[in-house]
Chain A
Amino acid sequence: KQEVTQIPAALSVPEGENLVLNCSFTDSAIYNLQWFRQDPGKGLTSLLLIQSSQREQTSGRLNASLDKSSGRSTLYIAASQPGDSATYLCAGNAGGTSYGKLTFGQGTILTVHP
């Protein structure tokens, strides 16, 4: 059974810092990994999806990497801004007969203060 863990549980940084959020998963037979952002009282917004055949994806100030052999993914946020404050969730997709259902970590609560 896939288990996903996110470290740290919470992170507070001053504006402008570069930061890294970590995600680890137990089953290396992962089909893809998706990073989401969740604002308080809102649904999930997809940030990046990395296929198992890829090692990283970039979108603006965000860069996500995937290392299946070590069971890890990282989300790098460059030049953080107060508007980046949210909960960040990673989710693994085992593909195949799992129909693509996602297994989520518990999230990292990020606060960027001015």
Chain B
Amino acid sequence: GAGVSQSPRYKVAKRGQDVALRCDPISGHVSLFWYQQALGQGPEFLTYFQNEAQLDKSGLPSDRFFAERPEGSVSTLKIQRTQQEDSAVYLCASRGLSYEQYFGPGTRLTVT
């Protein structure tokens, strides 16, 4: 595709619900990153994939957060038993051969 796409763009979840956020990277990009952006803050790293391998998940805030990229293309970030502190914008980025990262529009998650 022309750029990184994410869905849904907005998600409202009741506390305790599970959510799944999708990222479609730029075609052919091997590297995929997830970031979390709280209101008024810069994005913070969550996890990194190289093809289907999750090489770094050091930024995931708790074991309620899980990410996968089974075929090395589309990635899903899943949050189980959502809490109010999970409310944020979740950004996905992909990268080709250079170090420049290209970001999607993000998914704004609101937990009520």
Q: Among A41, A49, A102, A107, which residue has its beta carbon within 8 angstroms of that of B45?
A: A102
Provide the main secondary structure of the chain A interface. strand
A-to-B contact residues, CB < 8 Å: 4, 31-32, 34, 36, 41-46, 49, 51, 89, 91, 93, 95, 98-107
Bound CA–CA A62/B93 (angstroms): 23
Interface size class of B (residues with CB under 8 A): 20 to 34
0/1 interface trace, chain B 54-87, chain A, CB 8 Å (1 if under): 0110010000000000000000000000000000
Bound CA–CA A45/B102 (angstroms): 7
Q: Among A34, A41, A98, which residue has its beta carbon within 8 angstroms of that of B101?
A: A34
Provide the main secondary structure of the chain B interface. strand
Known: A46-B101, A93-B99. A4 touches B42 (CB 8 A): yes
Inter-chain contact A102/B40, CB cutoff 8 Å: no
**B residues within 8 A CB of A45?**
103
CB distance from B49 to the nearest CB of A (A): 9
Known: A43-B91, A43-B104, A101-B56. A91 touches B48 (CB 8 A): no
Inter-chain contact B101/A103, CB cutoff 8 Å: no
- Which residue on A lies nearest to B45, using beta carbons? A101
Bound CA–CA A104/B101 (angstroms): 13
Known: A46-B102, A93-B99, A99-B31. A107 touches B42 (CB 8 A): yes
